[in-house]
Amino acid sequence: MTEDLAITMLSQMLWLVIKVTAPVLGLTLLVGLVVSIFQVVTQLQEMSLTFIPKLLVSGLALIAFGGWIIQQMAAFATRLIGGIPQMLHGF
């Protein structure tokens, strides 16, 4: 395995992680922002008010995007396993 191939694989892996976590993290961030604005406006400082909506949205986002996330990860794994002969070619 060459250094270029290792760096390319690492780069692809990191982009995949960013791509598959973006929907869940983005929606959770958006809900957290809305709840925080609501808390500032109403001066209601209840800890469960921030935790429960973010937990529910995270679960719903995983249900909604779960199939796509698994598809992306399976495609990456297929490319990675399919590239093993190329990786071992240098040995």
* Count of C-beta atoms within a 10 Å radius of residue 9: 16
Residue of 65, 61, 37 whose CA lies nearest to 49: 37
* Count of C-beta atoms within a 10 Å radius of residue 35: 19
Residue 90, pLDDT score: 63
Greatest Cα-to-Cα distance within the chain, rounded to the nearest angstrom:
66
What is the C-alpha separation between 44 and 66, in angstroms, rounded?
A: 34
pLDDT digits (tens, 9 = 90+) for 11-49: 999 999 999 999 999 999 999 999 999 988 988 888 788
Answer yes or no: pTM beyond 0.95. no
